[in-house]
């Protein structure tokens, strides 16, 4: 009964029923609790709102003026609450999604058609950004990211299988260069660097047996777009480090040659992540069920 909205609702119920007992039953409270709430409300406004005896309750002039403003105001508030509550079951509205640029085509794009067909009234608002930031502070409902980068206080749902990196170059590139046999050989190669937003240039990661390390590489080109990265590798600009699913068709066709494969071990793939399961809107639930692996 300390909540102002509850107290005002209680006053309205007493005034309409002309009874403390009936209002108490409506809110599953004791008559004394209702009486105390009304008394505190009257003390707050400084005038008597209800005239009561042991047999009857009447609304004072001040109470009538309050009721005239209170009824439509409470109706608007209840309507807004009902509307918000309805979003839990209504598949309509907007979902703001944060996705790293390197995950757009592999983690999200293949499911967009299905999502649009099944939920035509949901607007999926996608922002591509490789920066690792605070999802909630930036105003997003959910994000997509590699499992290793997701904070532990987030709910994470797997949306892709484990991934594996591929280091590739064009046959023309290797026509005048030896293929690297160990990662440190890359220091003598022209490597295409990938910039991860504000995080900076990505250091290539390697693992084999008990050995695990990262290697800063250098070369003639720095990009922040996977499509451009692959195209540059196809054109012989240098070696590229990408997800193997991105270049698998080019490797099969012979347009790209894969090297150091034994140093590229599987790692957790993409996950959809969001802050909480509590009071989850239907729009977000729909996206989760569409992308879930």
CATH of residue 80's domain is: 1.10.10.10
Q: What is the mean pLDDT of residues 114-131?
A: 93
**pLDDT at position 166 over 90:** yes
* 158: three-class secondary structure by DSSP: strand
> Do 144 and 279 share a domain, yes or no?
yes
> Do 115 and 248 share a domain, yes or no?
no
- Give the model confidence (pLDDT) of 71-96 as tens digits: 888 878 777 776 666 655 567 889 99
> Do 187 and 60 share a domain, yes or no?
no
**pLDDT at position 55 over 80:** no
pLDDT at 10: 87
> Do 74 and 209 share a domain, yes or no?
no
> Do 66 and 138 share a domain, yes or no?
no
pLDDT at 182: 96
> Do 173 and 250 share a domain, yes or no?
yes
Over the Cα atoms of the chain, what is R_g?
Answer: 31
Q: How many domains does the chain have?
A: 3
**pLDDT at position 181 over 90:** yes
Q: Domain boundary at 86, 119, 140, which?
A: 86
Q: What percent of the chain has pLDDT above 90?
A: 55
Cα 100 vs. chain centroid, distance in angstroms?
12
Q: What does pLDDT average to over the chain?
A: 89
Q: What is the mean pLDDT of residues 144-162?
A: 92
> Do 35 and 71 share a domain, yes or no?
yes
CATH number at residue 137: 3.40.190.10
- Give the model confidence (pLDDT) of 101-117 as tens digits: 889 988 999 999 999 99
| Beta-bridge partner residues of 168 | 240, 258
Q: What is the mean pLDDT of residues 265-288?
A: 89
pLDDT at 1: 42
> Do 171 and 225 share a domain, yes or no?
yes
Distance between CA atoms of 165 and 210, rounded to whole angstroms? 18
- Give the model confidence (pLDDT) of 4-38 as tens digits: 778 888 888 888 888 888 888 888 889 888 888 88
* 213: three-class secondary structure by DSSP: strand
> Do 196 and 234 share a domain, yes or no?
yes
CATH number at residue 254: 3.40.190.290
Q: What is the mean pLDDT of residues 164-175?
A: 96
> Do 103 and 73 share a domain, yes or no?
no
**CB-based contacts of 94, cutoff 8 Å, min separation 6:** 122, 123, 124, 125, 283
> Do 106 and 150 share a domain, yes or no?
yes
Distance between CA atoms of 9 and 186, rounded to whole angstroms? 72
> Do 197 and 249 share a domain, yes or no?
yes
Q: Domain boundary at 52, 86, 120, which?
A: 86
Q: What is the mean pLDDT of residues 117-141?
A: 90
Single pTM value for the model: 0.66
Q: What percent of the chain has pLDDT above 70?
A: 95
Its domain, for residue 55, covers 4-86
Least confident residue range of 48-52, 113-117, 205-209, 218-222 = 48-52
* Residue 179 pLDDT grade (very low, low, confident, very high; cuts 50, 70, 90): very high
């Amino acid at each position: 009964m300390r909540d102002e909205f509850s107290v005002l609702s209680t006053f309205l119920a007493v005034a309409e029923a002309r009874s403390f007992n009936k209002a108490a039953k409506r809110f599953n409270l004791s008559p004394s609790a209702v009486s105390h709430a009304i008394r505190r409300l009257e003390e707050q406004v400084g005038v008597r709102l209800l005239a009561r005896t042991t047999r009857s309750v009447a609304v004072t002039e001040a109470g009538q003026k309050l009721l005239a403003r209170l009824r439509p105001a409470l109706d608007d508030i209840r309507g807004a609450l009902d509307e918000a509550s309805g979003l839990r079951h209504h598949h309509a509205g907007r979902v703001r999604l944060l996705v790293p640029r390197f995950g757009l085509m592999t983690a999200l794009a293949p499911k967009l058609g299905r999502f649009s067909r099944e939920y035509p009234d949901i607007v999926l608002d996608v922002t591509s950004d490789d920066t690792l930031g605070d999802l909630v502070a930036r105003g997003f409902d959910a994000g997509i990211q590699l499992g290793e980068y997701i904070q532990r206080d987030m709910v994470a749902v797997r949306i892709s299988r484990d991934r594996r990196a591929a280091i590739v170059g064009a046959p023309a590139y290797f026509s005048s260069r030896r293929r690297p046999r160990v990662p440190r050989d890359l220091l003598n190669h022209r490597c295409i660097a990938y910039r991860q937003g504000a995080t900076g240039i990505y250091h290539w990661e390697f693992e084999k047996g008990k050995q695990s390390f990262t290697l800063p590489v250098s070369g003639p080109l720095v990009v922040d777009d996977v499509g451009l990265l692959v195209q540059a590798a196809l054109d012989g600009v240098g070696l590229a480090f990408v997800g193997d699913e991105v270049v698998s068709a080019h490797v099969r066709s012979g347009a790209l040659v894969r090297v150091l494969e034994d140093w590229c071990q599987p790692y957790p793939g993409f996950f959809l992540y969001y802050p909480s399961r509590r009071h989850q809107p239907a729009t977000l639930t729909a996206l989760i069920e569409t992308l879930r692996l």
